[in-house]
Structure 1
Amino acid sequence: MAILLLLQQREQVTAAEVARELEVSERTARRDLDALSTAGVPVYSLQGRGGGWRLVGGARTDLSGLTAGEARALFLVAGPASAATPAVKAALRKLVRALPEPFRLQAEAAASSLVLDPQRWGSSPVEPRPPRLLDDLQDAVIRGVQVRLGYVDRSGAETERTVHPLGIVAKGPSWYLVAGTDAGRRTFRIDRVSSAGPTGDPVHRPADFDLAASWRAIADEVDRKRTPLETQALCTPDGIGVLRMAFGARLEVGGATTGGRIEVVIRGSNEYVLAGELAGLGEWIEVIGPATVRDRLASIGTTLVERYSRLPPLQ
């Protein structure tokens, strides 16, 4: 596919040019060019100085029928968010170099327009459908145009503003737009977007903007706001793996103490919920603060002892 697109774009290519563009050896490039000819594709070679490979009579193939939208959709799977194999991503990154110029920039933009973050915020038993305006907003990101955005906040109040779409993020089942605004960079839940009209004006995209890095910073900030309580504890070395599985990004691992245990910080929403999560981990950790969490753990322990010490033995 890449060789055919190169031929259509440049009219004539050499094996050396194909090898350089597609990061293969010249031997492989010649073999593939010969294979195209053998397969009946109207490709022929010109020998001697200034020679190379051409399509007979400037022929066109069905590959040139790719629309801009189809090219963008194809190259979405080449980006860092894709679940495609490394080989598929590498092949598509090579193919993008052979696209006609009008498609190439949008295909490259498509490859970096989406981030997939599988971790949910909270629980959502029902998998929602993709938001109504998801395709419109992703198109604006890829084409690099500003959007007049209608948005409904948590309280139900609707506002309208012009934003600079920078990227789309799928966070579990929810979709978010990362955009520049007059008030700085903001994140919008796409299922709350009521309208999205492109203005035609170009997006002001920071030269060093990286969607994945930007989203990590946003997600870390949101997680900290959702779990503001920090509990300090000492953990045995063999318990660190258990804590990582239980708390994920809410766990921060520090250094080792003189006694061999490891300092950790665990974040939670409040002392009641966090103490409940920690109560079953006494084999590995000792909570050293704050006092409210220690008191809650002591209360849980007392309740458990009183309740289960009085039970008759099972027959």
Structure 2
Amino acid sequence: MRADRLVATLLLMQARGRVTAAELASELEISVATARRDLEALSTAGIPVYPERGRNGGWSLLGGSRTDLSGLTATEAQALFLLVGPAAAIAPDAKAALRKLVRALPETFRSDAEAAAEAVVIDPAGWGENDKARPVLVNDLQHAVVRRLKVQLVYGGRRGAAPTERLVSPLGLIDKDDVWYLIAGTDKGQRTFRVDRVLEATVTAEPAERPDDFDLSSAWAKVVEEMELNRSLLAATVRVQERHLWVMQDRLGRHCEVLGPPEDGWVRTRITAPTPLMIAQHLAGWGGSIEVLEPPSVQAELARLGAELVSRYDGRADTARSETVTGRGAGEKVS
């Protein structure tokens, strides 16, 4: 994990004061290019790491060859933990390294550093949505989480419903498959908000309320469990051509489960969604590359969708072929 390397890089620089990218690459068993990128990432994030040119150059911690990590400012400490905290949520070794690093910080910085490390969780398992840009509001919400400040949200309603205003205590952010979620405390209990539906977010000066036992990773696990239950109310057994399986898995994420080894170029899978129609809509575009074995309700929805398409477009294929032939020009022969 990159978080392990970043923390290890800082601890190595604390011990030596100055290192070259080549030395770092040798110590961490990575390429020189990767070591240089890690050093540049630390510097860009605001950590006091800077390059020195010349024969005896390298990368140093600001302040001398034996700078202690407690020399970080509060802002620099937050920058470090915001950088490595998300990966540490899914890497036990990185989490242990962060705990050690916290103990090296001055007491006055520890609260903010811990808050920064716990402000974001990255959940790499897909829900079938890709290529979503990071919302601009994420940085503002992340700031509010770290500073323990309430946020006034204007939240877009579903299916054309009017937006609502809510004053929330932000508890943490989750990046799941490039879709961002905010877990926050409200007057009706803990709620989860999609950040791309937040129309406005105003950070207030009012202190946020955060339960002493709150853990972002655990809270998100409960949210995922509930959402997966709602999204998996119905299952269909579907045969998929083996060469297309990876595409199906990429599109549907954990809602596409392989049931056994390939047989004659086909793979049996379990596809889940809340309703037969939703499963059929996922599968309709696959044509002859898939076969629904059960249940009959999904087969019926696919047949209905197919009949609708035939009814709307039947006959147009012949017209298109005729126009293509006509458009070849009078001088062309058609065999």
Q: Return the TM-score normalized by structure 2.
A: 0.54
Distance 1:230 1:293, change over 3 A: farther
Query: Who wins on radius of gyration, i.e. which is larger?
Result: 1
Question: Please, which runs of 5 or more residues in structure 1 have no aligned partner?
Answer: 7-39, 44-60
Tell me the equivalent position of 1:115: 121
Q: Is 1:288 equivalent to 2:291 in the alignment?
A: no
Hey, what's the Cα distance between the residues in 1 that align with 2:251 and 2:13?
Answer: 52
The whole-number CA distance in structure 1 between the counterparts of 2:240 and 2:177 is 32
2:172 matches 1:195: no
**Deviates most, 174-183 or 146-155:** 146-155
Change (3 A) 1:78 1:116: same
SS of aligned partner of 1:77: helix
Q: Is the 8 A contact 2:69 2:105 kept in 1?
A: no
Q: CA deviation at 1:95?
A: 2.5
Match of 1:12 in 2: none
CA–CA distance in structure 2, aligned partners of residues 63 and 159 of structure 1: 42
Structure 1 residues 305, 271: closer, same or farther in 2, change over 3 A? Answer: farther
* 306 and 136 in structure 1: CA distance in 2 versus 1, 3 angstrom threshold: closer
Q: SS of the counterpart of 1:212?
A: helix
Deviation at 1:168, TM superposition (A): 1.2
Alpha-carbon distance, 1:238 to partner? 5.2
User: Secondary structure of the residue that 2:220 maps to in structure 1?
Assistant: helix
Contact in 2 for aligned 1:168/1:175 (Cα 8 Å): yes
Higher helix share: 2
Q: What does the per-residue CA deviation read over 1:202-249, in whole Å, with 9 as the maximum and x for residues that have no partner? A: 4224x2x44234335435655776x68845224379589444244222
Which segment is superposed worse, 64-73 or 80-89? 80-89
Counterpart of 1:99 in 2: which secondary structure?
coil
1:66 maps onto 2:48 in alignment: no
* Inter-CA distance 62–167: structure 2 relative to 1 (3 Å threshold): same
- 149 and 68 in structure 1: CA distance in 2 versus 1, 3 angstrom threshold: same
User: Deviation of residue 273 (structure 1)?
Assistant: 2.3
* 1:94 equivalent in alignment to 2:97: no
- Structure 1: distance between partners of 2:151 and 2:310: 58
CA distance in 2, matches of 1:202, 1:275: 45
Name the TM-score, length of structure 1 as normaliser: 0.57
Output the aligned Cα RMSD: 4.9
Deviates more, 1:302-311 or 1:182-191: 302-311
Match of 1:180 among 162, 180, 185: 185
Per-residue deviation, 1:122: 5.4
Contact 1:96 1:104 (C-alpha < 8 Å) held by counterparts: yes
Deviation string, structure 1 residues 138-166 (Cα, Å, up to 9, x no partner): 233234x35152323334434242x3321
Q: Could you tell me how far 1:186 is from its partner in structure 2?
A: 0.9
Q: Which residue does the alignment assign to 1:249?
A: 254
